[in-house]
């Protein structure tokens, strides 16, 4: 049983990487045979991984097409961003930040600031948020955050091309770090929620166009 679970997780991780690097796009059917060849695995663990990703609402099953990455939807975006904001606030309110943690956040912020293109910038932003929450002891919550952010990636890749927008988000990142450094977690939590809501408001407007 352990081997079976490990193979499923291997497929799941592979598909998530393909999604967050842009190799798998919205509306694209996931080719089981291609995944099988790429990983040298049977279709059984692939189907299990796809079922898990469907349960996490990252993909959906479409009759006569198989599994695809679902199209964007404003109601889903509101649910996604609201839940991620709440989980991240809970995470930073229930973890300790060491000097090394703060240093890692500052270094990642530099990576975010210096990103050369949209996908690199989104990935740097996601890593910044991962570092914020990684010390949280609730592994289930962290796994849920990882799944939710994989879906969020598609929203941000579709709309986050505006340098002005990222400059504003960049300022919020720096304020979050500063609040954590001052051991002012309530302010950091408020700024973190504002950061996610800023993104959501922008996406809501874009989806309404």
Mean pLDDT, rounded, for 146-161: 83
pLDDT band at 1 (very low <50, low <70, confident <90, very high): very low
Instruction: Tell me the pLDDT tens digit for each residue of 9-63.
Output: 889 889 888 887 778 888 888 988 999 999 999 989 999 999 888 887 788 888 8
DSSP sequence for 3-40:
HHHHHHHHHHHHHHHHHHTTSS-TTPBP-HHHHHHHHT
Here the tokens at position 174 are 């720096």
Write down the CATH number for the domain with range 74-208: 1.20.120.530
Mean pLDDT, rounded, for 177-195: 96
Q: How many residues does the chain have?
A: 209
Detail the DSSP E strand segments found in the chain. 59-62, 66-69
> What are the domain boundaries of the chain?
2-69, 74-208
Write down the CATH number for the domain with range 2-69: 1.10.10.10
Instruction: Tell me the pLDDT tens digit for each residue of 90-137.
Output: 999 999 999 999 999 999 999 998 988 888 888 899 999 999 999 999
């Amino acid at each position: 049983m352990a081997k079976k679970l490990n193979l499923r997780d291997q497929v799941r991780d592979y598909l998530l990487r393909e999604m967050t690097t842009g190799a798998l796009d919205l509306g694209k059917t996931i080719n089981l045979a291609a995944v099988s060849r790429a990983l040298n695995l049977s279709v059984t663990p692939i189907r299990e991984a796809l079922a898990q990703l469907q349960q996490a609402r990252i993909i959906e099953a479409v009759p006569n097409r198989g599994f695809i990455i679902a199209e964007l939807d404003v109601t889903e975006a509101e649910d996604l961003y609201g839940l991620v904001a709440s989980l991240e606030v809970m995470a930073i309110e229930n973890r300790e930040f060491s000097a090394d943690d703060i240093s890692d956040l500052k270094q990642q912020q530099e990576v975010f600031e210096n990103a050369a293109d949209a996908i690199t910038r989104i990935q740097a932003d996601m890593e910044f948020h991962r570092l914020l929450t990684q010390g949280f002891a609730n592994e289930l919550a962290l796994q849920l955050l990882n799944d939710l952010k994989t879906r969020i990636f598609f929203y941000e890749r579709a709309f986050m091309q505006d340098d002005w927008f990222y400059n504003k988000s960049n300022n919020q990142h720096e304020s979050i770090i500063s609040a954590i450094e001052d051991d002012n977690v309530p302010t950091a939590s408020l700024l973190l929620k504002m950061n996610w809501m800023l993104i959501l408001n922008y996406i809501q407007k874009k989806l309404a166009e």
